[in-house]
With several copies, the nearest count.
Chain A
Amino acid sequence: MIDFTPSENDEKAFERARSAALVCRKYARHYDENEHEMAPESLPETEEFDASHPEVPPPGDGDSSYPVRMMRLTMINYWGDYTVRLHRETGGLGNAALSAAGTEEQRQKWGDLCLAMAITEPGCGSDPSRVSTSAVLDEETNEWILNGEKIFVTTGIRADAVVLWATLDKSAGRGGIKSFLVEKGTAGFEVPHKEKKLGIRADDTAAYVFRDCRIPRENLLGGDETVAKKDSGGFRGVMKTFNMTRPLTAAMGLGLAEAALDFTRDQLREAGVEIDYSAGLGTQMAAAEKFIRLESIWEASCLTTLQAAWLAGEGKPNNMESSVSKGHAGSAVRAITQGCIEILGAMGISRDYLLEKWTRDCRITDIYEGTGEIQRLIIARGLLDYTRADLN
């Protein structure tokens, strides 16, 4: 039955997350201004917080409400800050890929590590089929030999290992692309530098270089049989993870945008501007009307993201919905954070407040995990019943 009231247990979890988020937010500015520093494993307040805020038991993994709850929790965490956490999450995007496409043994062996995912290359941007990092099997030693460069690797510095996209045969396009598990410290695997960015500065985004990097044969994600599968085990596996990661990245941005809205609402109240949901254009102040519009965009985007997660929880296909969620949120967070700055004026661009930071941070939403343009391509193909070849 269509319903939008969280369960009591979820509400408790959200409440706890909000309190934690407010603690983290105290450190947000510091790690933005000090890009080179890495946010700590856990904050000074953590012990006391955990003592005073008992964990709220999550629903079982099988529980279909799990993804929706996780989605909303993600928003709340990012509402606090993009990067800083009481306990830093151990998982990276690669962990999602592992659980989606990894073999049982692989999940056993790599599951507890923080796994980054390396897709983008200097020359390929949002078009994964152009991956040129190569993987060649050395039959004698039973090793894969990896060569290539990767950029925009999220949590690339912190990660213990990486899920690397490489191609066995460039001419095969998507068909040739597989994912490989590569541990840090493996000879030939360099982590040159942390990128300097507009936003999410505390977050580590790294560039990797692989030079004749050798890894054991069994590090092919999904195992040998995926090699056979043309078009495309590795790729489909990752696409599958994308169905969850697209709404997740949407949720991250929406958390930041929600923070911007809450801040703006408070400031308007302080300035004595009333937000009246019954008033029309002739009796409502311009600032309030603008705010309501931004709020409606956020609400729409939030629900669309929860819907994509709900479908996943129901085990229903959500490829279109995931792109709708990501595409919508990408535009939404740009409009919302910038609209808040317009409403508040000079205050909005002062680094004495976090609004300008949220604006910079959430600008990534419409870019990574497939730009807004890519999401529109995916949606349009679905609507028009076109293949990748028909429309690109």
Chain B
Amino acid sequence: MISFGMTEEQELVRDTMREFARDELRPHGRECDENSSIPDELLQSVWDLGLTSTQIPAAYGGGDEPRSMVTNAILLEELAHGDPALALAVVAPSQFANAILDQGTEAQKKKYLPLFCTERFHAASLAIVEPGPLSEPLAPRTVAEAKDDGWVLSGSKSFVVLGDRASHFLVVARTEDGVGAFILDRDAEGLTISAPELNMGLKGVSTARLDLERVAVASEDRLGGEAGCDVGAIVNGSRVAQCALLLGLSRAVLEYCIPYSKDRVAFDEPISKKQSIAFRLAEMHMECEAMRNLVWRAASCLEQGRDATREARLARTYVNEKSVWVADNGIQVLGGHGFIREHPVEMWFRHARTLSVVEGAAAL
């Protein structure tokens, strides 16, 4: 039955995460951006919340709690409302863990899931984006040749989140008959990791470039084993997750602009009383509402195990455009103050611009 009502648990998650993000993430956002790094303690402090581990079955050492994509979307919105870059970093390990959880063989689950159920923050990353223009997740230039004893991967990947500290990479590559995902150890022969890449936004989050020169992968390290996996499903999940982050970011911009515009005086009254500003705030709000519904819809589609390719694409198309529009107009509302780094809006704009063009940076 069609319903927009959160469960009590979801409301609880929303409230706790909102508070946590406000107190623990927002205050560090600017500093991490200026220093282009995130202190380990910070990552650890969030790790202790168990965002990744709790949803892993007990059999693999996890908290065995039910996983709801919708709840996770709500959680991501709130974390990003605190700080989008930090939010991206703290949930990064789930990219890898969830892919294994959803599509790994029993052996793969046994081998990799326990890594994420430890005390210490543990990173492993998806490698989807490729260098060069017009990179498409399902049309990778990276190739996986079948060899009698497994696979040989050649190509390059870019924007691999936390690639500098990841123990493993899940690399998407083209095979004879489609697209596959392959698990690589960071020490694999022929794999060169260059980190950190320098990006426009999300500076705190280190991303790496991977160069693969005929890297050998054993057949059991192909995600899903013999049968392979549905890379599209991984892409859909990450698209919706990124949309949830961009939604939280947009709300942060709007909520920053509201009090600012009420304080800021021009032509003898607060600029918030000018229709050009007031209407823009109204449109920012309209878009936040619209974005959230698209995110929820795609997330619930994933939650119900249906193919979410269309829903995820519609959400991505809409949210990418509108979230950047909101951030860009946030700068305009602040005028000169929107352009200087004493206010967070220019930073959120860079984050939005960055997050809206990459793929596979987060997961539900």
Instruction: List B contacts of A124 (CB < 8 A).
Output: 266
Stretch at the interface among B59-67, B104-112, B345-353: B345-353
Taken together as a complex, chains A and B put the C-alpha atoms of A374 and B297 apart, in Å, by 29
Taken together as a complex, chains A and B put the C-alpha atoms of A293 and B322 apart, in Å, by 12
Instruction: List B contacts of A348 (CB < 8 A).
Output: 357
Closest chain-B Cβ to A33's Cβ sits at a distance in Å of 8
- A172 interfacial contact with B, CB 8 Å: no
Taken together as a complex, chains A and B put the C-alpha atoms of A366 and B339 apart, in Å, by 11
A304 touches B290 (CB 8 A): yes
A350 and B4 in contact (CB under 8 A), knowing A125-B266, A198-B340, A344-B133?
A: no
B353 touches A328 (CB 8 A): no
Of B130, B317, B324, which is in contact with the most chain A CB atoms at under 10 Å from its CB? B317
Instruction: List B contacts of A199 (CB < 8 A).
Output: 339
Q: Mark B247-284, 1 if CB is under 8 A from A, else 0.
A: 00000001000100110111100001111111101110
Instruction: List B contacts of A83 (CB < 8 A).
Output: none
A346 and B286 in contact (CB under 8 A), knowing A271-B133, A359-B353?
A: no
Q: Mark B279-314, 1 if CB is under 8 A from A, else 0.
A: 101110110011101101100110010000110011
A307 touches B4 (CB 8 A): yes
Instruction: List A contacts of B2 (CB < 8 A).
Output: 3-6, 10, 65, 68, 72, 306, 310
Stretch at the interface among B17-25, B87-95, B167-175, B193-201: B193-201
- B136 interfacial contact with A, CB 8 Å: yes
A2 touches B3 (CB 8 A): yes
> Majority SS of interface residues in chain B?
helix
* B6 nearest CB neighbor, chain A only: A2
A383 touches B276 (CB 8 A): no
Determine which of B267, B313, B331, B346 lies in contact with A292 in the assembled complex, contact meaning CB atoms within 8 Å.
B313
Q: Mark B180-221, 1 if CB is under 8 A from A, else 0.
A: 000000000000000001111100000000000000000000
Taken together as a complex, chains A and B put the C-alpha atoms of A372 and B335 apart, in Å, by 10
A196 and B134 in contact (CB under 8 A), knowing A293-B317, A300-B294, A304-B293?
A: no
B296 touches A283 (CB 8 A): no
Taken together as a complex, chains A and B put the C-alpha atoms of A92 and B353 apart, in Å, by 32
Instruction: List A contacts of B43 (CB < 8 A).
Output: none
> Majority SS of interface residues in chain A?
helix
B328 touches A334 (CB 8 A): yes
Instruction: List B contacts of A125 (CB < 8 A).
Output: 264, 266, 335-336
Closest chain-A Cβ to B356's Cβ sits at a distance in Å of 8
A366 touches B332 (CB 8 A): yes
- B44 interfacial contact with A, CB 8 Å: no
Taken together as a complex, chains A and B put the C-alpha atoms of A348 and B294 apart, in Å, by 26
B133 touches A360 (CB 8 A): no
* B321 nearest CB neighbor, chain A only: A293
A356 touches B200 (CB 8 A): yes
- B49 interfacial contact with A, CB 8 Å: no
Instruction: List A contacts of B309 (CB < 8 A).
Output: 277-278
- B138 interfacial contact with A, CB 8 Å: yes
B278 touches A292 (CB 8 A): no
A345 touches B293 (CB 8 A): no
Instruction: List B contacts of A350 (CB < 8 A).
Output: 158, 197-200
A277-300 at interface with B (beta carbon < 8 Å): 277-283, 287, 292-293, 295-297, 299-300
Instruction: List A contacts of B289 (CB < 8 A).
Output: 304, 307, 321, 324, 328
- A120 interfacial contact with B, CB 8 Å: yes
- B135 interfacial contact with A, CB 8 Å: yes
- B70 interfacial contact with A, CB 8 Å: yes
Determine which of A4, A65, A328 lies in contact with B290 in the assembled complex, contact meaning CB atoms within 8 Å.
A328
Taken together as a complex, chains A and B put the C-alpha atoms of A245 and B339 apart, in Å, by 20
Taken together as a complex, chains A and B put the C-alpha atoms of A195 and B289 apart, in Å, by 35
Taken together as a complex, chains A and B put the C-alpha atoms of A390 and B262 apart, in Å, by 11
A327 and B282 in contact (CB under 8 A), knowing A127-B267, A297-B318, A303-B294?
A: yes
Chain B interface extent, by class: 35 or more
A346 and B1 in contact (CB under 8 A), knowing A324-B285, A328-B286, A328-B290?
A: no
B4 touches A267 (CB 8 A): no
Closest chain-A Cβ to B29's Cβ sits at a distance in Å of 15
A295 and B3 in contact (CB under 8 A), knowing A127-B266, A300-B290, A345-B357?
A: no
- B50 interfacial contact with A, CB 8 Å: no
- A254 interfacial contact with B, CB 8 Å: no
A5 and B1 in contact (CB under 8 A), knowing A278-B138, A293-B317, A296-B317?
A: yes
Taken together as a complex, chains A and B put the C-alpha atoms of A301 and B297 apart, in Å, by 13
Of A300, A301, A363, A376, which is in contact with the most chain B CB atoms at under 10 Å from its CB? A300
- A161 interfacial contact with B, CB 8 Å: no
A353-389 at interface with B (beta carbon < 8 Å): 356, 359-360, 363-364, 366-368, 371-373, 375-377, 379-380, 383-384, 386
Instruction: List B contacts of A5 (CB < 8 A).
Output: 1-2, 304
Instruction: List A contacts of B120 (CB < 8 A).
Output: none
A2 touches B290 (CB 8 A): no
- A152 interfacial contact with B, CB 8 Å: yes
Task: Beyond A10-B2, A300-B294, list 4 extra A-B contacts (CB 8 Å).
Answer: A65-B2, A277-B313, A363-B339, A373-B276
Q: Which 5 A-B pairs have the closest CB atoms?
A: A282-B134, A303-B293, A351-B198, A379-B282, A198-B346
Q: Can you spell out 18 A-B residue pairs with CB atoms less than 8 angstroms apart?
A: A1-B7, A2-B70, A10-B2, A198-B339, A278-B138, A293-B317, A342-B356, A346-B159, A348-B357, A349-B358, A351-B200, A363-B349, A367-B336, A376-B276, A376-B279, A377-B279, A390-B273, A391-B278
